[in-house]
Amino acid sequence: MLNTDSIREKILGDARHNAAQLISDADVRAQKARAASETRISDARAQSQRDVEAQADEMRDRMLRMAELDMRKALLATKRQAIDEAFDRALERMRAMDTATAREFVMRQLLENAGGTESIVFDARDEKVYTPEFVATVNAALKKAGKSGELRLDAERRAIGGGFILKDGGAEIMCTYEAIMSQARSALEGDVLKLLFPES
């Protein structure tokens, strides 16, 4: 038979053993919880780092695209300015033509655009170009081309900067140098762009 001391020792021993086991189990659970927390923290840090890097990459890409777009806009503006200047210089050269050259040019335009019965409105600065003799020569060429050769000089003068306007009743055909250059620009702008910027 067990005495009370040995029973007490047995109970205390079992209690110590259970307590030690509980403490050991609690330590294991705490270590697992700590490890899980550290893993979550590490994963969160890694994800945050990836997010930051992804945002930085996205921002860098966006800034590069914006810089490329700005460069393209600047290049386009430079090209547009060069084309504008080329056509402006061509227009100035047209306006600076001597009388004989201007008559040749105007003759071609009149033969191409006139029906033969219109009146010719021109700039007062071009009186030397549009003489009665010149109009008679144009009318003869129109008749030879099978058109009615009855063009006449209109009493009206307009500040059109060169070229002429054909008036027929209420209708007008604009053959000013500026209108001719505008039409030519539409047709030639691509070719001029290639000449000015062959790498484009």
For residues 88 and 90, what is the distance between their CA atoms, to the nearest angstrom? 5
Mean of pLDDT values over 133-145: 96
Report whether pLDDT(2) > 60: no
Mean of the per-residue pLDDT values for the chain?
A: 87
CATH superfamily of the 97-196 domain = ATP synthase, E subunit, C-terminal (3.30.2320.30)
Model pTM?
Answer: 0.61
Domain ranges of the chain: 1-82, 97-196
User: Which of 169, 90, 95 lies closest to 125, judged by CA?
Assistant: 95
Report whether pLDDT(1) > 60: no
64-83 confidence digits (pLDDT tens): 899 888 888 888 788 788 88
- Least confident piece of the model among 39-53, 70-84, 107-121, 133-147: 70-84
User: Which of 152, 141, 144, 145 lies closest to 118, judged by CA?
Assistant: 152
Report whether pLDDT(8) > 90: no
Mean of pLDDT values over 107-130: 95
Report whether pLDDT(125) > 70: yes
Rounded to whole angstroms, the maximal C-alpha distance in the chain is: 156
